[in-house]
Structure 1
């Protein structure tokens, strides 16, 4: 994606939809960076969540990649390749695949999804927050 540089005046004139799109892209970049720090991608996390009966899956049953793509169609991005992401999870032992091509979450995959869901995001500027926070209460 090409980033266009706008002047301050041009930025100030942008409609709310522009800022909504900019906020969305910034949020996705933040989330994906945090997932990468934990050792997996956002699509891998979605695969685990969609296969977990304790999360998004209504019944905990295995699903094929096309079924998962349909289930995630409202939030998958064009660059997300679920087959490639599933392959990595299979290699790590976080998913298994049955003879019908359905993916199933393993116990290790459940633990990762559960732990990752409970890990709070940290601020991109967390290291500077402490030094800028007042240590005394205002009068």
Structure 2
């Protein structure tokens, strides 16, 4: 689909809350559709991704606490764990720490590849400058309304070092 052009005078009066909401819904639904190809829900993806990044450091409780900030209210993690255990993706040590099984490692890697492709599609036709400008505007509006415009813990950069951005930026330890 091609984005239709409108006069700047018309776009200048558009409600940002509406467009931010539409963008959020479209991106989240596209991501969820990508995850469904691996028979995963978004919260299941959060679990395997977090556990896979730091093997042996997370328990059921600490994962749920960490994810509560952006999980839908009332989300129960117990069924998520049960599904991942029965699927053979997740295992629990006697000390309560969670680990990805070999099947979980393979599935997580496969899903990560799908997510990288999905993110590239989401960013298609958007320059790095446009993306950074859009983020700056949204963060300023969040700050102007008393919200928290800080970069979230899960996208703070440490875990992104060495990963390519959708714009070809490859960050290293120096942020370059």
Q: Figure out how many residues of one structure are paired with residues of the other and give that number.
A: 108
Query: Residue in 2 aligned with 1:35?
Result: 35
Deviations 1:106-129 (A, max 9, x none): 111111111111122296xxxxxx
Residue 26 (structure 1) aligns with: 26
The Cα offsets for residues 48-105 of structure 1, whole Å up to 9 and x where unpaired, read as 11011xx3x3xx2242222002222333222643221111010011111233433221
* Map of 2:9 onto structure 1: none
1:61 to 56, 59, 68: 56
- SS of 1:86's equivalent? helix
Q: Equivalent residue for 2:79? A: 84
Instruction: Output the aligned Cα RMSD.
Output: 2.5
Q: Which residue in the other structure is 1:115 paired with?
A: 110
Q: Quick check: 1:75 aligned with 2:70?
A: yes
Instruction: Provide the rounded CA distance (Å) in 1 between the counterparts of 2:85 and 2:60.
Output: 13
What residue in structure 1 maps to residue 47 of structure 2? 47
Residue in 2 aligned with 1:130? none
The structure-2 alpha-carbon separation of the partners of 1:13 and 1:83, relative to structure 1 and needing over 3 Å to count, comes to farther
2:94 pairs with 1:93:
no
Question: What SS class does the counterpart of residue 51 from structure 1 fall into?
Answer: helix
Counterpart in the other structure of 1:133: none
TM-score normalised over the length of structure 2 = 0.53
Q: Which runs of 4+ in 1 moved over 6 A?
A: none
Structure 2 CA distance, aligned partners of 1:37 and 1:110? 16
Higher relative contact order (CA 8 A, sep 6+): 1
Which stretches in structure 2 are left out of the alignment for 5+ residues? 1-11, 122-176
When Rg is computed on C-alpha atoms for both structures, the one with the higher figure is 1
With the length of structure 1 as denominator, give the TM-score of the two structures.
Answer: 0.65
**In 1, Cα distance between the equivalents of 2:73 and 2:36?**
19
